[in-house]
Structure 1
């Protein structure tokens, strides 16, 4: 499958080499999500599993903000009138976006500027790497609208990133986590100035795209699957995964380049 010419209706998409850049496109409202953009993002990340032309993904900010979460008028208002079956259809669909991001086999880098709240904070959380500007403000604000903090995998993933106590603080209170807190706690990998945020994220993604991309997919799979394994199971799973990678041509290319004192050129097979 080739996604280079993808023309989504509900977000912006462009390719820079092997890197796909995604950005929500409602900057006048700080880029909220709608039913349609949720579903289209979910379907896009599902398709990325089969997209040989995309090696890495950057989720960028737009207009000085990342994402303000679910649109109050287009999502929250209609949900008030739904029955349990309809509500569960929605919450499962939003969770499916996170599952698709985790299972897409490509490194996903979020470049966060300004507002990053609600489902926007979840999208950043579900990414593999997170860059942010000093003015990034991140909040899992579900309790502030009368909901539980356990949304879209937050209670499973966030404690693994920043620790149980810090996650509990954010998920109970719904307060904003500053960029500096996020960096100190390990939520954000790097803080960069706004004018260089996207360029640095794309440069990082490009370096990954030039690496052994089949092996990157294995790394991502193991990072996610080993959450629920014992240490003994994880070591065995990694032994099998590494043996698979040793059958790739990239492994052979790396050896031959080392023997010739050259830099390996990986091709992802």
Structure 2
């Protein structure tokens, strides 16, 4: 795996073929979020729009944790107010990171190697798939710090991944959800054996790469577009538009190959 990173201070970016691995790189602070990290995450995910050579992104944390949420020693003022994390500073804030992850053309696989708390939970929810190590832990952040448990879109994202009741439990109580319960809830797709998270992520990425480049990008685009449209008519219109856009040479070649392999019987 080669180092493909620009001079980031809080992120490590490595490349293996068409897959890029993004690592939140503040292990001494459990990869908690600083304003520098916010700026760098916005820059990284926004850049993916113009990088078709990257087809899948995996996202993980350095050391023992995925992301412990906001670094309250840097991002909170003495009166407890967040310093610029959500404010309009003339550039995207932390909310922009969540949107940029979802809007990146590439599928994003969260490899949750440890605690994913607050903003860390929401980073994982914004990804397209979540895979967990046995040490993974998921919980909301601010509800036990005297603020709303609904932060950064968690009230939108979490009920779309797990049931409304389970989402309410996590958001209202701030309870931690360990890896095996996360699997039972559908919060993660698989729990890897100890030491096997990176290999599991690579296997999922390899399956995605079997799709055509255009097909994979349009699938990501349509999947999230349809999730965010509140009517069946809107969803069907989005799917129809995508199929029309996909009816090109690559689709015809793959369809011809499928027919040649399977014959008219489809067997």
Structure 1 length-normalised TM: 0.88
* Residue matched to 2:242: 241
SS of the residue 1:261 aligns to:
helix
1:230 paired with 2:234, answer no
* Residue matched to 1:183: 183
Give CA deviations for 1:212-239 in whole Å, capped at 9, x if unaligned. Answer: 2222222222222223231122112211
Task: Report how many aligned residue pairs link the two structures.
Answer: 258
Bigger drift between 216-225 and 130-139 goes to: 216-225
1:52–1:92 distance in 2 versus 1, CA, 3 Å = closer
SS of the residue 1:148 aligns to:
coil
1:254–1:4 distance in 2 versus 1, CA, 3 Å = farther
1: CA distance, partners of 2:60 / 2:71: 19
2: CA distance, partners of 1:210 / 1:57: 15
Assess if the C-alpha contact under 8 Å between 1:4 and 1:53 holds in 2.
Answer: no
Assess if the C-alpha contact under 8 Å between 1:116 and 1:137 holds in 2.
Answer: yes
* Residue matched to 1:89: 88
1:37 paired with 2:37, answer yes
1:261–1:86 distance in 2 versus 1, CA, 3 Å = closer
Structure with the larger RCO, 1 or 2 (CA within 8 Å, 6+ apart)? 1
* Residue matched to 1:251: 251
1:109 paired with 2:109, answer yes
SS of the residue 2:9 aligns to:
coil
1:189–1:244 distance in 2 versus 1, CA, 3 Å = same
Assess if the C-alpha contact under 8 Å between 1:132 and 1:191 holds in 2.
Answer: yes
Q: Which runs of 5+ in 2 are unaligned?
A: 263-267
Q: Which runs of 5+ in 1 are unaligned?
A: 263-269
Q: How does 1:43-122 map to 2 (within 5 A)?
A: 43-77=43-77, 80=80, 88-89=87-88, 93-122=93-122
Assess if the C-alpha contact under 8 Å between 1:179 and 1:191 holds in 2.
Answer: yes
SS of the residue 2:196 aligns to:
helix
SS of the residue 2:21 aligns to:
strand
Assess if the C-alpha contact under 8 Å between 1:32 and 1:69 holds in 2.
Answer: yes
Assess if the C-alpha contact under 8 Å between 2:215 and 2:246 holds in 1.
Answer: yes
Q: Which has the higher helix share?
A: 1
* Residue matched to 1:220: 220
1:113–1:245 distance in 2 versus 1, CA, 3 Å = same
Assess if the C-alpha contact under 8 Å between 2:125 and 2:158 holds in 1.
Answer: yes
* Residue matched to 1:266: none
SS of the residue 1:232 aligns to:
helix
1:211 paired with 2:211, answer yes
* Residue matched to 1:146: 146
2: CA distance, partners of 1:79 / 1:192: 42
1:118–1:81 distance in 2 versus 1, CA, 3 Å = closer
Q: 1:33: Cα distance to partner?
A: 1.2
